[in-house]
Structure 1
């Protein structure tokens, strides 16, 4: 059967996290998808992992890689968009384990003229390290009592882990969070992303995903809030690539996008001559 959704997973030298994430996709209730790994210059260890885990999972994996040149996530995401073989794209990260109905919910809510804005639930570092394949395949890692027994604090945010059906629908309605394109959990039509020329490749860490969503909105594509319907567990890790320089540069680019209502970037998939 021809696949009808592509899942882009971004990664960089984080094989232990990526392995857990891929296991999470091997539990999905919706199975008609391909995975495209957007690899921002990882070493051979990531290629070796992908080659080995391909034998285990039911879905095809396309590995898109370029030479390491610092944090260039926007560049590798654009290359990965072009490698997708389906009309619809879901983007997440190599540190986000999806609940088994993750893709199913994106398929359920997708709609022409919209993109979907999901959220995540962040785990503490020790718990992130201790989740095993068995706990992913048994879905124990999405059991709130198990998570608390392993060190997760009590919080209203924990409702993201178990919300389904009417509860998630109501929480999506009342959340004060504005729907945006989130790199860890968002999806949209490939044609819409191409129509705004993908990601702005000048942008490194700090809001490059939000800027893409802002141009989609300027183009007339509406965001749809599914924060409590699509659940993924965000594994903790340090972010040495988050620099004040990149964050400030990106903030200025986003400001320009908002003020000028930009739909297109000259620094995206198609380069300005």
Structure 2
């Protein structure tokens, strides 16, 4: 692969999930050039886990932390991506386990002026005790404890037929997407005017679309497994949805409060 990439993940006080993520990263068939953990104010338990893995990890792990002041994911992601040393950003969530070819798949489909987005296989609540006890990172179509089994099937000959899209898909998920750092900076990154949980990834992508960046959905490649957790507080999501709608209607490309603060 000729593309160099930074794998970026947010995290917040769930070191058990972050450990499975890191275990799945270190066995990638194509490694990212670095892993950046965007830590939205976790306690020392997360720091201790990161320091443990930093000692022998196959690529650098960079830990970006700020003080816990409620959900500030857009800010911590901006701070993390500002520090990224490589031209391509692969974004996941801190509760994701990667298929061994995940990075390889994203890089194989990357092209200029384009962002990629994939789906996820869900790991069920009833399976969590066994998952963490065994530190399981290998899954397939027949594995116990998962939903959306068809999404486990890696079929590159089908995935490579994906068409470019000019509109934002409702299937877009921030736990599985990638983009060029230059395209991210051109729209000033994540919008820190968003409040609380939700919409930050799709609002970012809407501004990229407004700026002429095309989308491509990954199906049957770029496979990830999402660890069940309780739903986040969605009390502010209607405010964020309105901001996103305004961006779509106006064609605005640039977040007034974004990544430029950290560059």
Would you say 1:218 and 2:215 are equivalent positions?
no
RMSD (Å), alpha carbons: 2.0
Q: Does the 8 A contact of 2:7 with 2:32 survive in 1?
A: no
Q: CA deviation at 1:180?
A: 6.4
Unaligned runs of 5+ in 2: none
- Per-residue CA shift, 1:235-269, capped at 9, x if unaligned? 00113x4232x201101100110110110010212
For residue 217 of structure 1, give the secondary structure of its aligned residue in structure 2.
helix
Determine which structure has the larger helix proportion and give its number.
1
Separation in 2, partners of 1:124, 1:32: 28
- Residues 3, 53 of structure 1: CA spacing in aligned structure 2 closer, same or farther, 3 A cutoff? farther
Matches within 5 A, 1:102-121: 102-121=102-121
**1:199 maps to what in 2?**
190
Separation in 1, partners of 2:56, 2:234: 37
Separation in 2, partners of 1:159, 1:190: 31
Match of 2:141 among 139, 144, 155: 144
**TM-score normalised to structure 1 length:** 0.87
Q: CA deviation at 1:227?
A: 3.3
Q: CA deviation at 1:119?
A: 1.3
Match of 2:257 among 249, 267, 273: 267
Separation in 1, partners of 2:140, 2:171: 27
For residue 258 of structure 2, give the secondary structure of its aligned residue in structure 1.
coil
Separation in 1, partners of 2:102, 2:24: 10
Separation in 2, partners of 1:131, 1:223: 33
**1:209 maps to what in 2?**
201
Q: Which sits farther off after the overlay, 179-188 or 94-103?
A: 179-188
Would you say 1:232 and 2:229 are equivalent positions?
no
Q: Does the 8 A contact of 2:122 with 2:146 survive in 1?
A: no
For residue 234 of structure 1, give the secondary structure of its aligned residue in structure 2.
strand
Unaligned runs of 5+ in 1: none
**TM-score normalised to structure 2 length:** 0.90
Matched residue count: 254
Moved over 4 A (4+): none
- Residues 38, 104 of structure 1: CA spacing in aligned structure 2 closer, same or farther, 3 A cutoff? same
